[in-house]
Amino acid sequence: MKTVLLAAAILAALSVSPADARPRPKAKPVADAPVASPTPVYKDGPPDTTYEVPHKPYRIADGLDYVGTRGIGVYMIETHDGLIVLDSGTEKGVDLVEANIQALGFKLSDVHILLETHAHWDHVGGMAKLKRDTGAIFVASAGDRYGLENGVHVGENHYGGGTFPAVSVDRVINDGDKVKLGGVTMTAHLTPGHTRGDTTWTMDVKDHGVKHTVVFYGSTTVAGNVLVGNNAYPNIVADYHLAFTHLKAIKADILLGNHPEFADQEAKYQAQLAGKTDAFVDPKALPNLVKQSEADFGVALAKEQTK
C-alpha cells in the first residue's frame, strides 16, 4: 500500500512510498462514463428533510467530533497540526457544518485536509465551498475523481443523475493508502459499488484512556443504482461484492455513518448525554450493518434479474 503524508500547509510535503496492498477493483476509466440527467440522486427515494436541519456538534471520542446535520454525518478529526474533515454535507447544509466547526472553538482556516466517502450531492455538495472557505487540501479516490471534478453522479440510476458544485481533487488515494496529519493516521478502504470510488475510512482513537478503532462507513446501499445492464458502470455488481469483502475484513468497535441512522447514532448520542461514557462503542455494529446491507443488496439484485 502507499503511505501518503500530507503536511498541514503545503502540498509539497506529500510523499508516497510503495508497499503491499489488497487487490483493487478494476473499473473502466470514469472519464468516459456516460452521465445521467441532472436530477438529484436520492438515497431511498425522496430527499430526507433532515439533511439541512441543524444538529449540535458533539464529541464522539478524544479528538473526534460530529459536525454534521441531523441527517448527514460529517466528522472532524483534531490533530497536533490542524483539522481533518470528512465529507461536507449538501450545498446548503455546508453552512451548518462550518458553523459547527466554529462552535467547537476552531477557525475554518484550522482545517488542512478534506476527505470524502463518496461523490453524491448529499455528501459532497458543499465540498467546493468548504474547500474555498478553509483553503484545505482535498483528497479523494481515483474512482470518484471524475464525478467530483465535473459535479455529477456517474452511472445509471433509477432516480436519475445528480449535480453539485464541482470541486478539484488535489491528491488521489487508492485502496490501503494512508493520510497522515499531526500524529493521526486515516486509512482508506475502497468499498466501490454505491459509487465507483466509494471509500470507507478507519483510524485509531483513545477515549477515557481506552484505545478504539473507528470505521467511517462509506455506503453499500443500492440507492437506485441500476444493477443489471448498467452500461455506464458494467462491473457494478462485482464492485459491490468487493466492497462487502473489504468491509468484512475490517475490525472496528466504533461505527460512524455518513447517514447517522445507519449506525443508530442519535440514540447513542442521547445515551452519552445521559451519562454513558462509552455510548458509541459497539463491536457488533459494523458486522451487523454489513450483513444487513449485503442481504438488502441480494434482494435488489434478484429483483432486477427477474425483470
Domains of the chain: 3-10+36-305 (3.60.15.10)
Model confidence pLDDT, tens digit, residues 79-94: 999 999 999 999 999 9
Q: 108 Cβ partners below 8 Å, 6+ apart? A: 98, 101, 102, 133, 134
The pLDDT value given to residue 307: 79
Helix-strand-coil split of the chain, %, nearest 5 = 30, 25, 45
**Could you give the 3-state DSSP secondary structure of residue 245?**
helix
- How many beta carbons lie within 10 A of that of residue 28, not counting itself? 12
Residue 300 has pLDDT above 90, yes or no: yes
The pLDDT value given to residue 286: 98
Model confidence pLDDT, tens digit, residues 177-194: 999 999 999 999 999 999
The pLDDT value given to residue 162: 79
User: What Å distances lie between residue 286 and 30, 115, 291, CA to CA?
Assistant: 30, 21, 9
Tell me the three cell numbers of residue 265.
447514532
Nearest to 233 by CA among 26, 36, 33, 31: 33
Model confidence pLDDT, tens digit, residues 228-243: 999 999 999 999 999 9
- How many beta carbons lie within 10 A of that of residue 224, not counting itself? 17
Decide if 220 contacts 255 (C-beta within 8 A). no
Decide if 71 contacts 51 (C-beta within 8 A). yes
Model confidence pLDDT, tens digit, residues 252-298: 999 999 999 999 999 999 999 999 999 999 999 999 999 999 999 99
Alpha helices for the chain (secondary structure H) = 94-103, 121-124, 127-134, 142-150, 236-248, 265-273, 285-305
Q: CA 163, CA 159: separation in Å to the nearest integer?
A: 13
